Amino acid sequence: MKKEDTVKLISAEGMEFVIDKEAAMVSQTIRNMLTSPGGFAEAEHGEVTFPEISAVILEKICQYFYWSLQYSRGKETEFHIEPELTLELMMAANYLHT
């Protein structure tokens, strides 16, 4: 995986998730950060920090990104969500426009 094809998402605790840029772009918010011409620091370094999203939620979100890519390619499986994560995940999804 070439570095320019990946992004690093960093949770509130500092946990780092390196994922495909294509997957991260499922989120409209991240897409804007990485592509807007204003030269966000995020776009330059390929790193986005989410001080309000915990690692467990961010991991789930990364799973969703990949699930979503598969779904749009025709693999329509079910996406499992643990009940105890739902509310927090929902808030994060709202923030990420996902």
Phi and psi (nearest 5°) for 30? -65, -40
Phi and psi (nearest 5°) for 74? 105, -5
- Please list the alpha-helical segments (H only) found in the chain: 21-24, 28-35, 41-45, 55-72, 86-96
Out of 30, 33, 61, 62, the residue judged to bind other proteins by CB under 8 A? 61
The nearest distance, CB 2 to other proteins, in angstroms, is: 26
* 39/74 with CB nearer other proteins: 74
Which residue bears the tokens 């690093």?
Answer: 8
- Does residue number 22 form part of the binding site for other proteins (CB under 8 A)? no
The nearest distance, CB 92 to other proteins, in angstroms, is: 7
- Does residue number 13 form part of the binding site for other proteins (CB under 8 A)? no
